[in-house]
Chain A
């Protein structure tokens, strides 16, 4: 993690070239024979096509009219139309679901970052009693199948009057996302030298000030990954959403989308258009976070 030694003021862009600069030091490795080069790029291009293929196919299908989507002829573009999009956007509850999803995902992201950063920092820096059990708990919570938790959580939510409200979903998603994120951030905080904390402490910073002004700015890549992960968790969860939400106007996208493909007479053309609209916000968050993905996800495992 060479970019960790750069001062806090470094721009995010500085984080990316660090890795190539390091590898470039190795002479000879950069000079490849043409055959090897071809093989390397060929493999990567095929892999990229596979990664991209389904996304592009859905995107193309979303512009086709219904009869072309449901035909077995292999065509990329046929009678392009925006009718699917206008139907989804104006003739269904889609905008309402989108708003619900944005609210849920944004709050999950903000609260999730805050909770997992403070927890990860405490676990990384302070050797307090209860630290190891807490780490183990974070791992074990990953094993809980939602099937066992869902009924008791439902009764708790009902007792607090949260059924069919968005806060119920935010709270439920936090329990999914925070343990993993805290674990990951802990690994990242571990790789930030403690000498920085000590220097700040000598300058008279309290533990909270050190965390807020010294460590957190340095951990920006990991924070970005946390944001990405919490957002996606909330954006795509289906099971809790289907259990806690009962009325059409409170659906999130993940659950509402299923309405387009009922068992009988599924309307794939609307589904594809809705799928594209759902993926775009996730893609935007991804684009913002992606430059940090590699350096930020040197997960809890590296320094476990």
Chain B
């Protein structure tokens, strides 16, 4: 009879206790699984958003975050220079301006993304057409704005720039060409995209040639690093970051709290799970010392009896761990919804993201937990004095 079957029979012998143990591990495992999803969720989601824009290198004037620092001067010449590099496939100038709707009593604040209409867009059209070939007055707007202002392709809208001292610039009339999804939009963001020149005209600057950033797509055979290096060589005064750099930078700063908290919670959770199973097994072993001593007396080796305990632990942790997966997935949806309600978080950014790696680590950690939990009861069994136990059990 295999150790596995004997362990199984021992586990099912006390179904209530085993079920409670499995449920406890499931709760702990679910939390552990979620912490694994959280530990890299933001990074994966952020990376996905960056990739969705379709560009893998960003060029800005300083090492501050885009739109917070100084602008790039002579942006068109710079874009042309970068586009001429053999490692580069496409370049897009981006200029962001603050604007507001110019009609009605309530002035809605709007983020105007100015980009070259002929270049590959950073947004995804979901209805209507893109701005390419439709002149300076064409706009694409995000869903939130379309729903709030009841706009659809073909609608007209008027925008005024919020441009500091230039606050007196006249409103500009635009036509909605299409509705688009912007990767970094928050759930309540009002974003529109139009021609680069329109962004300047909003503030009455028709001759200014600046950009907040240039987004660059590298050639597939060259890669982002090679493109970034080429740009750095061509223009030493600009700051060049690849998507990988950005992810790493955010990983170190913005997202590190969630990574740290997930590590702390996963550790505590795992400790808790180990404790639960260790207590369950220890009590179980202590209750069956007579049987264990008998097994040893009739000739089962120490290793064989010990392996039974490890199997018992593996069964409880394994069953709990499997149950933890659907439980953890449901829990992660709930927790993700809570965290995504944080202000300023892009609507498509997720804190809990599944990846096969998390499943593997989950299984490995639980396997380690099963072994660690079995350590103490195994020690009891391994050091069990057969004769003394039989004697004690005979008189008890």
Are A and B part of the same complex? no
A: residues with CB less than 8 A from B are none
